[in-house]
């Protein structure tokens, strides 16, 4: 019977990875076999939760039936409310007249557990969202959760905090081809199952140029005037070789010394 639950375990775990408010920002880091293992890990948790719910609901089904006269569920058929979930499922399987008694018993439990497992990720994610809203005292905990995800990478953390920084704090980004940009980080790209939130960044450039191939000295070749106030440059994060905060005062001091 457990073999029939392998696919629901993986599917429910994968659903948690995609809809849970925390795991959905880390799913891009799970690749290959590790994604299967992570899905199996979360799926096993869904299995135990679903199994507990199935046992409790069947044990106290008639107690729960006392609330069925309260809207909005009082419209459910009396024939359904008069049965436990186990009885209802097994009766449906018996009506198919395609299984032996033992097969009906096994399939009844598999069906109930599978159905419950597919619902667990939804309620788990909803409860997690409520928990994070209470913890961070906001209805939009996305930024705080992203900060946790990015904290284990210096570059990710720097770019994310720069995007959140108020005012005119500038950063200098050097790309793998020695081009460089100075400007304000506006936003990070939306995550997907293959890449993270920072797959692309939007920057409002103030200056751009290049680094000398031999000395790596900075040379600015373009200054964006106020007429270019709406200019935005999109840069793929994997092209960035270095990033640092930029100060005009510090740059002028170093430039004069040079």
Hey, what domains does the chain have and what are their CATH numbers?
2-136 (no CATH), 154-257 (2.30.30.100)
- Predicted confidence at residue 248, as pLDDT, reads 85
The answer to whether the peptide bond before residue 218 is cis (omega within 30 degrees of 0) is no
Angle of CA points 107, 108, 111, to nearest 5°: 80
- Predicted confidence at residue 4, as pLDDT, reads 78
Look up residue 81 and give its two tokens.
Answer: 């409310």
- Predicted confidence at residue 72, as pLDDT, reads 46
- Predicted confidence at residue 61, as pLDDT, reads 65
- Predicted confidence at residue 73, as pLDDT, reads 46
Give 173's strand partners. 181, 243
- Predicted confidence at residue 257, as pLDDT, reads 62
Tokens 């840069």 sit at which residue? 235
* Cα–Cα distance measured from residue 220 to residue 211, given in angstroms and rounded to the nearest whole number: 9
- Predicted confidence at residue 75, as pLDDT, reads 46
Q: Which has the closest alpha carbon to 115: 66, 36, 57? A: 57
Q: Which has the closest alpha carbon to 156: 147, 164, 165? A: 147
Q: Is 174 helix (H, G, I), strand (E, B) or coil?
A: strand
Q: List the end-to-end C-alpha distance of the chain, in Å, as a whole number.
A: 75
Angle of CA points 55, 58, 63, to nearest 5°: 125
| Chain centroid, CA 32 distance in Å | 18
* Cα–Cα distance measured from residue 234 to residue 214, given in angstroms and rounded to the nearest whole number: 27
Given 3-state DSSP classes, what are the helix, strand and coil percentages for the chain, each rounded to the nearest 5? 55, 15, 25
In which region does residue 32 sit, left (phi positive, over 0), alpha (psi from -120 to 50) or beta (all else)?
left
Q: What is the pLDDT along the chain (258 residues), one digit of tens a residue?
A: 667 788 999 999 999 998 998 888 777 677 778 888 899 999 999 999 999 998 888 777 666 555 554 444 444 555 555 567 777 788 888 888 888 888 888 888 889 999 999 999 999 999 999 999 999 888 888 878 877 777 777 888 888 888 888 777 899 999 999 999 999 998 877 655 555 555 788 999 999 999 988 888 888 898 886 656 678 889 988 899 999 999 888 888 877 665
- Predicted confidence at residue 71, as pLDDT, reads 45
Cα torsion 43, 44, 47, 49: sign: negative
Q: φ, ψ for residue 151 (rounded to 5)?
A: -65, -20
């Amino acid at each position: 019977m457990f073999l029939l639950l392998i696919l629901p375990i993986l599917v429910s775990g994968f659903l948690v990875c995609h809809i849970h408010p925390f795991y959905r920002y880390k799913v891009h880091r799970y690749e290959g076999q590790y994604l299967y293992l992570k899905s199996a890990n979360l799926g096993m948790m869904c299995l135990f939760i679903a199994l507990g719910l199935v046992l409790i609901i069947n044990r106290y089904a008639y107690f729960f039936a006392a609330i069925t006269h309260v809207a909005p569920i009082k419209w459910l058929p009396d024939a359904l409310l008069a049965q436990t979930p186990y009885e209802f499922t097994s009766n449906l399987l018996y009506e198919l007249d395609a299984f032996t008694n033992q097969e009906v018993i096994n399939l009844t439990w598999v069906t109930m557990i599978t159905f419950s497992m597919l619902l667990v990720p939804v309620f788990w994610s909803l409860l997690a969202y409520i928990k994070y809203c209470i913890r961070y005292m906001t209805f939009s905990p996305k930024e705080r959760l992203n900060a946790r995800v990015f904290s284990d990478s210096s570059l990710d953390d720097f770019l994310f905090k720069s995007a959140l920084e108020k005012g005119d704090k500038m950063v200098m980004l050097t790309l793998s081809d020695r081009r460089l940009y100075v400007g304000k980080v506006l936003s990070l790209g939306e995550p997907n199952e293959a890449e993270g939130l920072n797959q692309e960044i939007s920057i409002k450039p103030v200056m751009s140029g290049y680094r000398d191939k031999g000395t790596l000295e900075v040379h600015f070749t373009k200054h964006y005037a106020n007429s270019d106030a709406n200019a935005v440059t999109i840069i793929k994060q994997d092209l960035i070789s270095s990033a640092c905060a930029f100060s005009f005062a510090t740059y002028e001091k170093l430039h004069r010394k040079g």
